[in-house]
């Protein structure tokens, strides 16, 4: 079976690495000729519009994406030739923050207050209603902290409008959360569901820095997260893996956003789960039985942003698995990740202590805080 993937980044790369041992072949379409997934299959260098008429993609058995901003219209056109999973509706909803919020609200998922903003009077009215602090975001194409400004007082409004005012925007109430978390689910076309454990996530300047799984939360909070993400994939008739990002505030969950694809917060599943998110995504696409999603122990995932430590030093850390994406280094770019796996929390702490000297001071400080709270 041949799988077409729109996008050729590290997510496509890890999808292929999971699928090749199962006998799958891969075609990637990406605008960049150096897309890092290219070594694992046939790379078509083209923009998204070209995907509709590309004969190599048309010859695939299934099509999926490693990037949520592939135009929904492109996926609809492709879907008339080849099954596209997940379907265009999920991408359409995720590509517009306002539409995303409206969908989540319609199925009863709790959200921070929000309002659409198209003009300066809209912004003033939204601030009046929601209050400050708040976050002003572009409705489209924002990710990893891009396309947004935190408004803490009225003096922040004019600079934020100058930076973002050329776009359709959304104002969201600032959530003074105790923590962030994410839950990943895989759903088959038959409706079968498998949930991965909730992961504790830590962001630095809008980019995921750390993920710990299973998250140290009550069974009630875990079940609440499962209920929210189940309602979402069922209303979308979703096929594949989806991740819902959440805030924990005063013991309750508020939804932040969802990603209709495999997700950075669940990279730990490669070593830390009985079946990785990447393998299960492919199983769902191909109508194969879903794999077990239970954890093998305790996992800590660390993202490498902008630069990678020396490989020999990383591999000296007990229980560490390194994933170098083979991408050229530049500030703010995800170059790889490492997962620490252990049978117990105490063993995970020892491995975390061993990796700390290899981290930048900010990430090391975040890691110390998170491990201190792990029980």
Report pLDDT for 142. 64
Q: What is the reported pLDDT for 206?
A: 85
Q: What are phi and psi of 53, to 5 degrees?
A: -105, 10
**Block residue for tokens 């517009």:** 96
Q: What is the pLDDT of residues 56-77, one digit of tens each?
A: 999 999 999 998 889 999 999 9
Q: What are phi and psi of 140, to 5 degrees?
A: -125, 150
Q: What is the mean pLDDT of the chain?
A: 95
Residue 127 pLDDT grade (very low, low, confident, very high; cuts 50, 70, 90): very high
Report, as an integer, the average pLDDT of 344-356: 95
Structure confidence at residue 205 as a pLDDT band (50, 70, 90): confident
Q: Across residues 149-164, what is the average pLDDT?
A: 92
The residues that bridge with 336 in the sheet, in sequence order, are 304, 324
* pLDDT at 372 (0 to 100): 85
Determine the Cα angle at 329 with ends 324 and 334, to 5°.
55
Q: What is the pLDDT of residues 16-35, one digit of tens each?
A: 999 999 999 999 999 999 99
| Per-residue pLDDT, 341 | 95
CB 138 within 8 A of CB 164: yes
Q: How far apart are CA 331 and CA 204, in angstroms?
A: 13
Backbone phi, then psi, for 7, in 5-degree steps? 110, 140
- The answer to whether residue 141 scores a pLDDT higher than 80 is no
**Selection from 123, 144, 143 nearest residue 132 by Cα:** 123
pLDDT for 187: 98
Q: From CA 112, how far away is CA 110, in angstroms rounded? A: 7
Q: Please give the average per-residue pLDDT across 315-330, as a whole number.
A: 94
% of the chain residues with pLDDT over 70: 99
Residue 143 has pLDDT above 70, yes or no: no
Q: Is 0.85 surpassed by the pTM of this model?
A: yes
Decide: 264 and 208 in contact? Cβ < 8 Å. yes
Domains and CATH numbers, the chain: 2-84 (3.40.50.20), 113-173 (3.30.1490.20), 179-372 (3.30.470.20)
Average pLDDT over residues 288-294: 98
* pLDDT, average across residues 181-187: 98
Cα distances from 254 to residues 51, 194, 214, 278, in angstroms, run 36, 22, 19, 26
């Amino acid at each position: 079976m041949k799988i077409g993937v729109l996008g050729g980044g590290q997510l496509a790369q890890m999808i292929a690495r999971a699928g090749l041992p199962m006998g799958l072949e891969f075609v990637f379409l990406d605008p960049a000729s150096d897309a890092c997934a290219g070594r694992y299959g046939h790379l078509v260098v083209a923009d998204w519009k070209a995907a509709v008429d590309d004969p190599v993609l048309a010859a695939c058995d299934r099509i999926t994406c490693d990037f949520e901003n592939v135009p929904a219209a492109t996926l609809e056109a492709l879907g008339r030739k080849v099954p596209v999973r997940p379907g265009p509706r999920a991408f359409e909803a995720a590509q517009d923050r306002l539409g995303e919020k409206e969908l989540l609200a319609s199925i009863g998922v709790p959200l921070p207050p929000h309002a659409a903003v198209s003009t300066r009077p809209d912004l003033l009215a939204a601030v009046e209603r929601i209050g400050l602090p708040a976050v002003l975001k572009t409705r489209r194409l924002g990710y990893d902290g891009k396309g947004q400004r935190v408004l803490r007082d009225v003096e922040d409004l004019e600079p934020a409008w100058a930076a973002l005012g050329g776009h359709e925007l959304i104002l969201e109430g600032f959530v003074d959360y105790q923590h962030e978390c994410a839950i990943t689910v895989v759903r088959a076309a038959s409706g079968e569901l498998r949930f991965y454990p909730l992961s504790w996530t830590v962001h630095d300047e809008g980019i995921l820095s750390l993920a710990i799984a299973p998250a140290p939360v009550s069974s009630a909070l875990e079940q609440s997260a499962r209920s929210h993400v189940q309602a979402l994939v069922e209303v979308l008739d979703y096929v594949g893996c989806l991740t819902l990002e959440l805030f924990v505030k005063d013991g309750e969950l508020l939804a932040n956003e969802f990603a209709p694809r495999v997700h950075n917060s669940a990279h730990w599943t490669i070593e830390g789960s009985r079946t990785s998110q990447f393998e299960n995504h492919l199983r769902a696409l191909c109508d194969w039985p879903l794999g077990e999603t239970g954890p093998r122990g305790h996992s800590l995932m660390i993202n490498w942003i902008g630069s990678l430590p020396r490989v020999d030093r990383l591999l000296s850390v007990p229980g560490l698995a390194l994933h170098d994406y083979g991408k050229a280094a530049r500030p703010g770019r995800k170059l790889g990740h490492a997962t620490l796996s252990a049978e117990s929390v105490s063993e995970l702490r020892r491995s975390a202590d061993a990796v700390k000297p290899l981290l930048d001071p900010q990430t090391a400080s975040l890691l110390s805080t998170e491990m201190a709270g792990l029980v």
